[in-house]
Amino acid sequence: MASYSLFWMLLLKNNWKLISNDFVIYLWTLAVTVIRIYWIFFVPLVWKKDLDNEKCSFLRKTENAVGGYNPKRDTINRLRKLKIQKITELPPPYPNGWYGILKSSQLKAGEATCVSCLGEDLVIFRTKKNIVFILDAYCPHLGANLGIGGSVADDCVICPFHQWKFRGTDGLCINIPYSTSVPKGSKVKKWISQEVDGFIFIWYHAEQTELPWDLREPMGEIDDAFVYHGHNEFYINCHIQEIPENGADIAHFNAIHKKNFINGSWVQKKRLFGLGSHHWKARWSPLVGKLKYLAEVNLNHYFKLFGKFDCFRMEVSGKQIGPSIVCLEVNSYTFGKIKVVQYITPIEPLLQKVVHEFYGPRWIAPLMKIFIYGESLMFERDISIWNHKVFHRNPILAKEDASIKKFRLWFSQFYSSNSKLYSETTNIVFFGILYWKFLRTQIVSRTSMALRLTAKWIWWLDF
């Protein structure tokens, strides 16, 4: 390959004088056009944005080195919100259900990684046979993290510290290389998991005997003709229940999402474009019986161009699956048929990671990039509300807000008698320790500064 490239470079060098300027311009224009076409049709659009400069800790610890992350500031911001928020008003921070915690593409065969979410530190590893297991991250021996430096052998993960081997099927330690026996009780917790539509899911439930409900059927399979067009990713400071509640909050659609997304931030008073406005009709209803963990969402949308013409009609139908997953199917004369999947993962009690993934036919790639851009801007309008609101357990509702009351009754099934309360979550204690350390550091630094100034003052008086 190197000799082939060298041949063309030498050929170009020897014949450079024979090449006209017009030919170079044509060649450059063609190259730029090909690159742009390739980007439009084959490169997924990824939208990541931190609002209000509130950069939060990421799902995977290895990503915490991202520039701008400030753990002290983030901790203090969430503590302030907890101080404003009455803790007795808040439901348990981690509802029972399935949670998407890692994209399948982020875990290769024979690889182990660490994920922190739901108040737990977990090791996720994939065997050479492409089977995924999830265990508690910390080795019961001396506490090493199995997901950081750990290796995979057969269906086991090996501790990087002393090579203890833990079986993925049940979490048992089956071998200690320097010992002839394994101490009794040498095991880590094994979590139920499965892979669906390119995501790894974990079953989280406060009642250990509760069996997981079916996940694959309600999510459905992605059409073979569909390709992945991109995703957006947000970190939000709120309780997890407030995010899916938006689907049942019928009045908020026209209150927040009516303005044209081209106008930018919805809080701006000056409208930059007067092209038109979005109009919505929504309906939310829970299912009963064996499928009571599901709810249906239906939206009708049209854009009124210049206040006169109705266009860009869309019909959206979807399912809310438990507390954290929403699958939407969008049918539009403009975009055709596309699929949007939302995953919510609680990183901490008041910190949620939200991902939207977009799928559709390859040929609508240019329109899909516009759709992802618009959907991301619309969702940011909701985030600007969530980041600065408090949760009311018993809100004052208008009669038109009946669906919110239905939603809260439906969502209450995901809490059980053993669900951890905020006072029981270790993260709050951890935040408190960090906050105290921060305050202590400030006090010490200011005290030492005062002592230095006093010493200088005494030294000056001596003269």
Determine phi and psi for 115, rounding to 5 degrees. -130, 135
Other beta carbons within 10 Å of 362: 12
Q: Are strands 45-48 and 226-236 parallel, antiparallel or unpaired?
A: parallel
pLDDT means per 10 residues, the chain with 463 residues, are 61 60 69 79 77 42 43 56 64 94 93 93 96 96 95 95 96 95 94 93 92 86 86 92 93 87 52 69 92 92 79 88 94 86 92 93 89 90 90 91 94 92 61 48 51 47 44
| pLDDT given at position 413 | 95
| pLDDT given at position 17 | 58
Other beta carbons within 10 Å of 294: 16
For 213, 375, 410, the CA distances from 333, given in Å and listed in that order, are 35, 17, 34
**Six-digit token string for 253:** 């659609």
Determine phi and psi for 306, rounding to 5 degrees. 55, 20
Determine phi and psi for 143, rounding to 5 degrees. 85, 15
| pLDDT given at position 156 | 96
Nearest to 68 by CA among 52, 91, 84, 79: 52
**Six-digit token string for 62:** 């290895």
Q: Give the C-alpha separation, 153 to 442, whole Å.
A: 48
**Close Cβ partners of 386 (under 8 Å, ≥ 6 residues apart):** 236, 237, 238, 242, 243
**Six-digit token string for 26:** 């044509």
| pLDDT given at position 50 | 60
Q: Tokens 């609680």 map to which residue?
A: 346
| pLDDT given at position 457 | 45
| pLDDT given at position 210 | 87
| pLDDT given at position 360 | 92
Determine phi and psi for 44, rounding to 5 degrees. -65, 145
Q: pTM of the predicted model, to two decimals?
A: 0.79
| pLDDT given at position 87 | 67
**Which helix (H) or strand (E) element contains residue 3?**
helix 2-14
| pLDDT given at position 458 | 42
Other beta carbons within 10 Å of 73: 13
